[in-house]
């Protein structure tokens, strides 16, 4: 208990009105009434009304009574109150604080402080409640009755339930790869406009497969009260790549499933996981049990790992997480690893994530900052170097992460343990981390996860706070669907990452002469090897060739905009599946990048575009996750927006009325340019402004791009004297990225 526990029953009580269930992201008005207890509140005493760090409820404001989130505070006895709102004025995870101080007068027992969140009496639409679901959303009240600034939490806290809204879109999920004749499931759900699985779906769709599927019914019916619909026992009896459409009565395709590859027999099969997220026991939302149930039943994941901040994980909670990992792990159904986030200060190495093969292992915290029980403080690892030393001999794997703190892998790294870097999460996109690894000569794979705090692992919509991106997913190419099989894939770097979509991806290196394929990184010693003509992502090899053949085989979840073929930090080729003759009137404008590596990385791109001597027939946003942000086409000649990036990108497509005439005048605080429409072609125009890849890019696309599947074969140079790390980044038109883990080849 981080606060005082002195006589909480004498500190008063609080209630909120109305109570009940409210739609996520809706505008509401709540009256919170605090009634002083036996002590009252002394002159200069105060109360705090706090919400979780993860909550993205609208920020209370006190100046504009007609605007959203207008909040008023009054004392029933006329005492003068000082009111402030601060995003970090209380102990985490209850950071967000409405601070109310009695500055003239005092309160006796029975006097009240009345807070109206979203006060509608003068025209405000109300306060926008948080955009994600929580059955016990608290208005937590803390009282400093004796004016010592030592707060006591009330024994009973006001709460409401936040529930999903009606479906705004539908999703259908299949395995990404199966063997011919293998039974599989088709799993479907509706999501509200903020990405919450909705239980308000009541509709029937036809099902249309791109290849024959044994057992597939003609239609599927969503029933109100259910969060998903599953169809089991399906089979495909011939090799193919296929998808399944959900089709409305009018023939419109409502959604298309992820692609699935069916092969005669596969040695490795793909399993999708979110290896990084938190629950309310640390800094997230809803319980750890809810976390795993959502991952399995609503996000349709194969793999999931709870990764709480270590300095907030008590011994009791660590034991609880170990029990949950045992309970939820079922071979061939769902795999959970016991895990934790080493959350060291940036100057001591920054964030790392640990996945243990077995339960019952010691957690080596970066500190006991929020753990009062110091009986095991001697097991702490305060620096990343200490962490790697403590984990020596453990059957585990580690990946580097960037959250509030960023992993400094130049400061500390262990080849035996740290097998991957996380290039994407809900915090943003951080390709510079894998470039740091290349610079240091590390051989790491690429993962993407959510680090979700909103209770939605595997389907982690960022909502309306500093999380700037949709949470990522990692696809493990495993020999079996067990904990051992997935751990084998992670240690061998046989995996790829995406920004939350599911795709089929295979990258390989072929050799002219047999190459030496190592069982593990030869820098570690005590490895075996064999000769081979071909290798897959994650493998490490020695070759005598001067050139290799690099192949890419991708079936994406949306049309492919480009494929960047890379050797380490060098981009060898940018491939686009269309040519100049295919270009139309569609112009793409993207803003991207971040301020710097740390917490203050957010980059504001608020601005507008004027279409001079031309106009647009329509415009569509890209990666507009926050529905609060403005995207406003004014009159066909002007577009206004508010936007933020944290390493990833956003923007818009505009279909112009005229293919060549006029110009586009773009105005933001960081980049302002007027670009002739006739100068916009297939190759991008780049307007940079410092930071980390902080820039605006503009280029032209076909009016409709049908290229979802691409196979490439390239002859690439094998450089001597260093690793050649061959990998790809694939960009989809819908704003998603896919990264393969590199194949490492040295001469």
Per-residue pLDDT tens for 544-553?
Answer: 999 999 999 9
Query: Over 90: is that where the pLDDT of 599 sits?
Result: no
Mark whether 321 and 400 lie in a shared domain.
Answer: yes
Q: Which residues are within 8 A (CB) of 247 and not within 5 positions of it... i.e. 6 or more apart?
A: 205, 206, 207, 208, 253, 254
pLDDT tens digits, 293-350: 999 999 999 999 999 999 999 999 999 999 999 999 999 999 999 999 999 999 999 9
Strands 140-144 and 169-173, sheet pairing: unpaired
pLDDT score at 614: 97
pLDDT score at 142: 98
User: For residue 442, what is the domain's CATH number?
Assistant: 3.20.20.140
Q: Give the count of beta carbons closer than 10 Å to the beta carbon of residue 697.
A: 17
Mark whether 536 and 646 lie in a shared domain.
Answer: no
Query: Over 90: is that where the pLDDT of 472 sits?
Result: yes
* Confidence band, pLDDT 50/70/90 cuts, at residue 515: very high
The SS3 assignment for 378 reads: helix
Element (H, E) at 608: strand 607-612
477, 488 contact by CB (below 8 A): no
CA nearest to 193, candidates 254, 274, 132: 132
- Lowest mean pLDDT: which of 55-69, 180-194, 454-468? 454-468
Q: List the domain range (segments joined by +) for residue 82.
A: 8-163
Angle between helices 315-328 and 288-297 (to 10 degrees): 20
Q: Average pLDDT, stretch 632-639?
A: 95
Residue 681 CA from chain centroid, whole number: 32
pLDDT score at 1: 57
Query: Over 80: is that where the pLDDT of 681 sits?
Result: yes
Place of tokens 């500093």: 466
pLDDT score at 141: 98
> Would residue 268 count as lying in a domain?
no
**What whole-number distance in Å separates Cα of residue 128 and Cα of residue 139?**
14
pLDDT tens digits, 425-435: 999 999 999 99
pLDDT score at 513: 98
Mark whether 744 and 620 lie in a shared domain.
Answer: no
Mark whether 359 and 489 lie in a shared domain.
Answer: yes
| Domain limit, last residue, from 113, 142, 163 | 163
> Would residue 1 count as lying in a domain?
no
369 DSSP assignment: T
Q: Average pLDDT, stretch 452-463?
A: 94
138 DSSP assignment: E
Average pLDDT of the residues of the chain: 96
**What whole-number distance in Å separates Cα of residue 462 and Cα of residue 277?**
13
Backbone angles phi and psi of 390, in degrees to 5? -70, -30
Tokens of 442: 């590390």
> Would residue 399 count as lying in a domain?
yes
Mark whether 493 and 400 lie in a shared domain.
Answer: yes
603 strand-pairing partners: 645
Mark whether 350 and 461 lie in a shared domain.
Answer: yes
387, 365 contact by CB (below 8 A): no
CA distances from 481 to 183, 272, 333, 491 (A): 14, 11, 7, 15
Tokens of 20: 């009940």
**What whole-number distance in Å separates Cα of residue 363 and Cα of residue 370?**
15
CA distances from 688 to 436, 493, 608, 622, 674 (A): 22, 34, 17, 20, 14
* Domain count within the chain: 5
* Confidence band, pLDDT 50/70/90 cuts, at residue 601: confident
List, in sequence order, the alpha helices (H) in 211-330. Answer: 288-297, 315-328
Query: What does the angle CA 368 – CA 370 – CA 371 come to, to the nearest 5 degrees?
Result: 60
CA distances from 709 to 47, 119, 512, 742 (A): 59, 53, 27, 21
The percentage of residues in the chain with a pLDDT greater than 70, rounded to a whole number, is 100
Q: Which residues are within 8 A (CB) of 378 and not within 5 positions of it... i.e. 6 or more apart?
A: none
> Would residue 556 count as lying in a domain?
yes
Q: Give the count of beta carbons closer than 10 Å to the beta carbon of residue 390.
A: 15
Q: Average pLDDT, stretch 513-517?
A: 98
What is the Cβ-side half-sphere exposure of residue 700, based on CA atoms within 13 angstroms? 21
Max Cα distance, the chain (Å): 88
**What whole-number distance in Å separates Cα of residue 528 and Cα of residue 520?**
8
Q: Average pLDDT, stretch 581-607?
A: 92
**What whole-number distance in Å separates Cα of residue 706 and Cα of residue 263?**
24
User: For residue 230, what is the domain's CATH number?
Assistant: 2.60.40.1930
Place of tokens 């993407």: 448
User: For residue 722, what is the domain's CATH number?
Assistant: 2.60.40
Q: Give the count of beta carbons closer than 10 Å to the beta carbon of residue 522.
A: 17
Sign of CA dihedral 393, 397, 400, 405: negative
Mark whether 198 and 253 lie in a shared domain.
Answer: yes
**What whole-number distance in Å separates Cα of residue 551 and Cα of residue 612?**
44
Mark whether 364 and 472 lie in a shared domain.
Answer: yes
**What whole-number distance in Å separates Cα of residue 308 and Cα of residue 670?**
36
> Would residue 517 count as lying in a domain?
yes
Q: Average pLDDT, stretch 717-742?
A: 97
690 strand-pairing partners: none
CA nearest to 191, candidates 243, 254, 271: 254
Q: Give the count of beta carbons closer than 10 Å to the beta carbon of residue 88.
A: 10
**What whole-number distance in Å separates Cα of residue 407 and Cα of residue 468?**
19
pLDDT tens digits, 359-380: 999 999 999 999 999 999 999 9
CA nearest to 646, candidates 688, 608, 592: 592
**What whole-number distance in Å separates Cα of residue 81 and Cα of residue 14?**
18
> Would residue 3 count as lying in a domain?
no
648, 592 contact by CB (below 8 A): yes
CA nearest to 670, candidates 612, 610, 603: 603
Output helix, strand, coil percentages for the chain, rounded to the nearest 5: 10, 45, 45
**What whole-number distance in Å separates Cα of residue 484 and Cα of residue 303?**
12
What is the Cβ-side half-sphere exposure of residue 682, based on CA atoms within 13 angstroms? 13
Mark whether 289 and 338 lie in a shared domain.
Answer: yes
Contacts 24+ apart (CB under 8 A), 568-572: 568/435, 568/438, 568/722, 568/723, 568/724, 568/725, 568/742, 569/435, 569/438, 569/439, 572/714, 572/716
Q: Average pLDDT, stretch 100-107?
A: 98
Q: Give the count of beta carbons closer than 10 Å to the beta carbon of residue 358.
A: 14
pLDDT tens digits, 644-659: 998 889 999 999 999 9
Mark whether 299 and 425 lie in a shared domain.
Answer: yes
* Confidence band, pLDDT 50/70/90 cuts, at residue 242: very high
**What whole-number distance in Å separates Cα of residue 45 and Cα of residue 19?**
28
149, 45 contact by CB (below 8 A): no
Mark whether 199 and 279 lie in a shared domain.
Answer: no
Tokens of 497: 């990452």
| Domain limit, last residue, from 442, 470, 501 | 501
* Confidence band, pLDDT 50/70/90 cuts, at residue 491: very high
Q: Which residues are within 8 A (CB) of 671 and not within 5 positions of it... i.e. 6 or more apart?
A: 591, 687, 688, 689, 695, 696
CA distances from 432 to 401, 419, 424, 569, 696 (A): 12, 16, 11, 9, 18
**What whole-number distance in Å separates Cα of residue 355 and Cα of residue 398?**
6
Contacts 24+ apart (CB under 8 A), 428-431: 428/402, 428/468, 428/469, 428/594, 428/601, 428/645, 428/646, 428/647, 428/648, 429/469, 429/499, 429/646, 429/647, 429/648, 429/649, 429/737, 430/402, 430/406, 430/647, 431/729
pLDDT score at 165: 98
> Would residue 295 count as lying in a domain?
yes
Q: What is the CA radius of gyration of the chain?
A: 27
The percentage of residues in the chain with a pLDDT greater than 90, rounded to a whole number, is 95
| Domain limit, last residue, from 480, 501, 522 | 501
**What whole-number distance in Å separates Cα of residue 559 and Cα of residue 108?**
66
* Confidence band, pLDDT 50/70/90 cuts, at residue 70: very high
Mark whether 151 and 176 lie in a shared domain.
Answer: no
Strands annotated E in 278-417? 303-306, 335-336, 339-343, 351-356, 396-400
> Would residue 721 count as lying in a domain?
yes
**What whole-number distance in Å separates Cα of residue 347 and Cα of residue 408?**
8
Q: Which residues are within 8 A (CB) of 459 and not within 5 positions of it... i.e. 6 or more apart?
A: 191, 195, 197, 294, 298, 299, 471, 500
pLDDT score at 404: 81
């Amino acid at each position: 208990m981080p606060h005082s526990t002195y006589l909480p029953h004498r500190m008063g009580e609080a209630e909120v009105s109305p109570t009940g269930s409210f739609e996520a992201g809706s505008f509401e008005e709540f009256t919170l009434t605090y009634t002083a207890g036996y002590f009252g509140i002394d002159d200069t005493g105060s109360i705090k009304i706090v919400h979780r760090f993860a909550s993205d409820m609208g920020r209370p404001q006190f100046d504009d009574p007609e605007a959203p989130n207008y909040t008023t505070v009054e004392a029933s006895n006329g005492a003068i109150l000082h009111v402030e709102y601060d995003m970090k004025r209380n102990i985490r995870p209850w950071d967000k604080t409405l601070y109310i101080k009695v500055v003239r007068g005092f309160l006796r027992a029975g006097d009240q402080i009345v807070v109206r969140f979203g006060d509608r009496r003068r025209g405000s639409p109300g306060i926008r409640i948080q955009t994600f679901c929580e059955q016990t959303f608290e208005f937590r009240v803390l009282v400093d009755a004796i004016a010592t600034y030592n707060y006591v939490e009330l024994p009973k806290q006001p709460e409401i339930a936040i529930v999903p809204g009606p479906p705004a879109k539908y999703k259908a999920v299949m395995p990404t790869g199966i063997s011919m004749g293998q039974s599989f499931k088709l799993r479907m759900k509706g999501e509200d406009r903020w990405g919450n699985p909705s239980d308000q779906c009541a509709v029937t769709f036809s099902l249309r497969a791109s290849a024959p599927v044994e057992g597939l019914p003609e239609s599927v019916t969503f029933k109100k009260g259910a969060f998903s619909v599953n169809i089991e026992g399906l089979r495909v009896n011939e090799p193919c790549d296929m998808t399944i459409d959900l089709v409305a009565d009018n023939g419109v395709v409502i959604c298309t499933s992820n692609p699935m590859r069916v092969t005669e027999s596969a040695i490795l099969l793909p399993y999708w996981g979110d290896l990084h997220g938190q629950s309310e026991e640390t800094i997230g939302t809803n319980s750890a049990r809810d976390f795993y149930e959502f991952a399995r039943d609503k996000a349709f994941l194969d793999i999931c790992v709870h990764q709480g901040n270590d300095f907030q994980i008590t011994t009791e909670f660590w034991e609880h997480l170990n029990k949950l990992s045992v309970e939820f792990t079922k071979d061939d159904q769902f795999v959970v690893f016991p895990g934790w986030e080493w959350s060291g200060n940036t100057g001591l190495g920054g964030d790392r994530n640990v996945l243990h093969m077995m339960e019952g292992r010691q957690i080596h915290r970066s500190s006991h900052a929020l753990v009062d029980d110091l009986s095991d403080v001697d097991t702490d690892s305060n620096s990343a170097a200490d962490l790697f030393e403590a984990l020596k001999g453990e059957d585990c794997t580690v990946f580097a992460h960037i959250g509030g703190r960023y992993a400094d892998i130049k400061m500390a790294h262990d080849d035996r343990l740290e097998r991957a870097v996380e290039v994407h999460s809900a915090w943003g996109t951080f390709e510079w981390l894998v470039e740091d690894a290349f610079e240091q000569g590390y051989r790491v794979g690429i993962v993407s996860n959510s680090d979700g705090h909103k209770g939605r692992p595997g389907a982690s919509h960022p909502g309306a706070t500093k999380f700037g991106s949709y949470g990522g997913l990692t696809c493990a190419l495993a020999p079996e669907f067990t904990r051992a099989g997935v751990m084998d894939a992670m240690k061998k770097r046989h995996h790829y990452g995406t920004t939350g979509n599911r795709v089929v991806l295979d990258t390989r290196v072929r050799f002219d002469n047999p190459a030496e394929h190592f069982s593990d990184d030869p820098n570690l010693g005590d490895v075996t090897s064999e000769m081979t003509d071909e290798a897959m992502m994650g493998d490490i090899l020695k070759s005598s060739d001067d050139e290799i053949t690099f192949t890419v085989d991708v079936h994406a979840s949306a049309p492919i905009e480009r494929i960047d073929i890379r050797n380490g930090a060098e981009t060898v080729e940018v491939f686009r599946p269309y040519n100049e003759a295919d270009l139309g009137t569609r112009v793409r404008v993207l803003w991207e990048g971040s301020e710097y590596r740390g917490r203050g990385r957010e980059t504001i791109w608020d601005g507008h575009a004027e279409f001079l001597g031309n106009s647009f027939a329509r415009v569509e946003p890209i990666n507009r996750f926050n529905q609060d942000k403005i995207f406003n086409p004014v009159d066909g000649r002007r577009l206004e927006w508010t936007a933020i990036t944290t390493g990833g990108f956003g923007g818009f497509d505009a279909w112009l009325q005229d293919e060549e005439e006029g110009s586009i005048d773009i105005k933001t605080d960081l980049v302002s340019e007027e670009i002739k429409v006739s100068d916009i072609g297939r190759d991008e125009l780049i307007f940079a402004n410092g930071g980390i890849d902080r820039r605006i890019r503009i280029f032209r696309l076909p009016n409709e791009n049908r290229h979802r599947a691409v196979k490439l074969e390239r002859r690439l140079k094998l450089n001597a004297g260093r690793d050649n790390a061959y990998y790809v980044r694939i960009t989809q038109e819908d704003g998603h990225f896919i990264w393969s883990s590199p194949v490492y080849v040295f001469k």
